[in-house]
Amino acid sequence: MKPVPLLLLVPLAFASFGFSAMTPQQPSSAHVWRQSQNTTARGTPYTRFTLAGKFLKAPQGDVSNRPAFVLDCAPGSGTRKGKFAAANLLIGTAMKIDYVEPQEIHGTSYYPKISVRYRIDDAKEEAEKWSPGTDKTSATIPKDWLKKILRAHTVEITAEDDRGSQLEMQFDMPNSPPVEDACSVDNPKK
């Protein structure tokens, strides 16, 4: 009789005792703020928080990335908390740009804006105009709007791509105390 290698007996022993050879399924990590430490081109450190969402109505063509909220914060020092730097909605496809007339006209300039409609939890849908990113595949999120969403459960955003097609995005919002603390989002400017 040939000897059986010990490695083959171990899985059989687990199966015969009713133990699962697989680890229990971990909760989905898609609905968490991912934190990373980065440095600007000038060497200034900052913390980036990223929350991935999903397309309810995706853009045409191949878009490999999901939409995401990205929040950058300057770190605090000593007893000082961190400070909000910027927030963006990354969409991954070119967005429709509207040129909006400023409230005070100084020449013939118009401001580029992305029209968005959003619904926070079960509240009434609202509309705003956000500034586009330099590549026009993202939008700058105003700080006051960010304060609204950090305590929400669900955020739905609708906008148009550069072809005029509707894009619908949804974000399931996790608890945000680490983000709020790191960025001092609720603190008024001094």
Please tell me the predicted confidence (pLDDT) of residue 119: 95
Residue 12 within any structural domain of the chain:
no
Please tell me the predicted confidence (pLDDT) of residue 158: 96
Residue 95 within any structural domain of the chain:
yes
Residue 190 within any structural domain of the chain:
no
Please tell me the predicted confidence (pLDDT) of residue 103: 65
The Cα–Cα gap between 113 and 19 comes to 58
- CA diameter of the chain: 95
Measure CA 36 to chain center.
13
Overall size of the chain counted in residues:
190
Q: Which amino acid is at 104?
A: E
> Tens digit of pLDDT for each residue in 115-168?
999 999 999 999 999 999 988 999 999 888 888 888 899 999 999 999 889 999
Contact, 90 vs 137, CB < 8 A?
A: yes
Q: Which residue range forms the structural domain that includes residue 95? A: 35-183
Residue 23 within any structural domain of the chain:
no
Residue 56 within any structural domain of the chain:
yes
Please give the tally of structural domains in the chain: 1
pLDDT, the chain, mean? 79
Residue 102 within any structural domain of the chain:
yes
Residue 73 within any structural domain of the chain:
yes
Residue 26 within any structural domain of the chain:
no
Give the rounded percent of residues in the chain with a pLDDT score beyond 70: 75
